[in-house]
Chain A
Amino acid sequence: MNPFAYVRVTAVDEAIKAYANTPNSRFIGGGTNLLDLMKMGVETPSQLIDITRLPLTEITATANGVRIGALVSNTDAANHQLIRTRYPLLSQAILSGASQQLRNMATMGGNLLQRTRCSYFYDPTYAECNKRNPGSGCAARLGINRTHAILGASQHCIATHPSDMCVALAALETSVQVSGPRGNRTLPFHDFHRLPGATPEIDNNLHPGELIIALDLPASTAAKNSHYLKVRDRNSYAFALVSAAALVDLESDGTVRLVKLAWGGIAHKPWRANLAETLLTGHQLERSRIERAAEQELKNAHVTVQNAFKIKLAQRTMVRALMTAARKDTLG
């Protein structure tokens, strides 16, 4: 690890000032990804700003839903009564990721900022990685890319976003509250993470020095039937090959009043399936219709020989997640 200065802050303003005053700073919360990247030599900050003592550890009911402080641990969020009863999709997604030890350390804000586990990004002995070293190329395109993106990738980067939690947050239409040198602002979740395009080194739309303060879960997605389904090579403690978050509200006659769908493991950001949602809203929730909706959403997929299986897997994962959410699991 490169040497770095360490500073501990107790107020948000203090954190933002500390960042502005020292180039190449990083905020550190749980540190479960950042410290690992520093050990690998991928991240080489000159200063770490310890934000773990900031007063951002509350979960509160608000007029418009539920607010989760950025420094709430993943464990505490998943087990909080307000989350388990109103947003069980979020609890389910969080608990399907990492291990208890990591979830105890990892924070809600930090989870949004974790970086891809593409092995070419993670290991600096590979010269080519546009995300780590802009302009150097993408070793994954012709390398081992079984786990890589099939939607929204570019010739510059085919990495995926690794989070389970963020897939649920996308389906729940969460807003991200941030604070920075120019004040506070709100980012809708679909506008938080980026597709790689020609600048894969930029993961998200935070401005330099901005700090995530809180996540707001809206009342509109509370207390609906939902399900998070994760498919992976190992049954626990492994990243998703494909995952799907589904949330649905049916009319009394069985037609879809509201449906929110998102995929994980197939793109540079949690993939909100807007087209599939439109194709399903107002119709009876039949298996064949969900299959077609997912197929339409996946029609622009670009695959490699190794990850071509993800198209069918993504479709089937979505079908099962939504059928389970609707308590109409007709599989078997």
Chain B
Amino acid sequence: MDSDEHPRLLDGGFNRREFVATAVAGILPLHTSTSTHSGSSSKISVSLLVNGQRQEAQLDSRVTLLDALREQFHLTGTKKGCDHGQCGACTVLVDGRRVNSCLSLAVMNDGREITTIEGIAQENSLHPMQLAFVENDGLQCGYCTPGQICSAVALLKEVSQGQASAVTQDLTQLKPIELTDNEIRERMSGNLCRCGAYVGIVAAVRQANGGE
């Protein structure tokens, strides 16, 4: 039998644990196509500090921050899910705050500091939140994971700042937030996971918060 008749098997030598760790770090080597905008009037200079590195580009006014990250700066860890601000897969940090990069124009972020999943890890070691996602099975397919982790990292900062959520009791009392599972679920509701790994995600955030 000719070997060409065999179905082609994807074999990157990954076992599940390695695959998961790779997805969590946002470095899956996904191929992206480059889209072009025809009919644009002019290109605009944009300068961003992305994961500590200065990035300059001439961009069409229509390019979203998400598309600039993926297609200009080749940081494909940030994912395009719905492209309408409904799923959270595109979550990145702008000046330390989590946003939907699909609903933000790149040009409007000129001069801002952007942190993507590629900038979350420290040197060669995963961020504690990334480790917590791996250890708690906070994912299955991994597509929403970069957004989940950026969101969760910001969440812990918001809690440390005393920011309230819709389930925080008595907003008039400006006291430290107790990060219950109910608080985690509410605060992570902007990140959908179609695999339904929510139980693991809540456990990961709890662990990264020092809860267990």
Contacts and interface: CB of A to CB of B under 8 A. Distances in A.
A75 B41 CA distance: 35
B208 to A, nearest CB: 16
Contact of A81 (B83, B104, B174): B174
Contact of A52 (B62, B84, B108): B108
Q: Give the interface size bracket for B toward A.
A: 35 or more
B108 A101 contact: no
A102 B190 contact: yes
Contact of A31 (B105, B110, B163, B170): B105
Contact of A101 (B98, B164, B166, B170): B98
Given A31-B108, A39-B84, A84-B172, A4 B166 contact: no
Contacts of B187: 100
Interface stretch (A88-96, A132-140, A276-284, A304-312): A88-96
A32 B85 contact: yes
A99 to B, nearest CB: 2
Interface string A12-38: 000000000000000010011001100
Contacts of B91: 101
A217 interface: no
A18 to B, nearest CB: 14
Nearest to B59: A6
Contact of B163 (A52, A79, A98): A79
B172 A104 contact: no
A28 B84 CA distance: 16
A304 B39 CA distance: 45
Contacts of B158: 100
A48 B62 CA distance: 10
Interface string A62-75: 00000000000001
A60 interface: no
A105 interface: yes
Contact of B99 (A81, A88, A91, A101): A101
B194 to A, nearest CB: 15
Contacts of A50: 107-108
A92 B171 contact: yes
B98 A91 contact: no
B171 A101 contact: no
B107 A6 contact: yes
B172 A88 contact: yes
A237 interface: yes
A91 B90 CA distance: 26
A236 interface: yes
A96 B170 CA distance: 14
Contacts, number: 109
A101 B97 CA distance: 8
**Residue of B104, B107, B108, B155 contacting most chain A CB atoms (<10 Å):** B108
Interface majority SS (helix, strand, loop, mixed), chain B:
loop
B166 A105 contact: no
B162 A6 contact: no
Contacts of A92: 166, 171
A85 interface: yes
A236 B40 contact: no
Nearest to B42: A5
Contacts of A35: 64, 103-105
Contact of A236 (B41, B83, B185): B185
B47 interface: no
Interface string B25-52: 0000000000001011110100000000
A236 B104 CA distance: 23
Contacts of B98: 100-101, 104
B155 A100 contact: yes
Nearest to A237: B189
B180 interface: no
Nearest to B100: A101
A105 B100 CA distance: 8
12 contacts: A3-B37, A3-B61, A5-B42, A6-B105, A28-B105, A28-B108, A84-B164, A91-B164, A95-B168, A100-B165, A100-B187, A102-B85
Given A35-B64, A78-B164, A101-B190, 11 more contacts: A3-B62, A4-B61, A5-B42, A31-B103, A36-B85, A39-B84, A48-B61, A75-B97, A100-B151, A100-B154, A101-B85
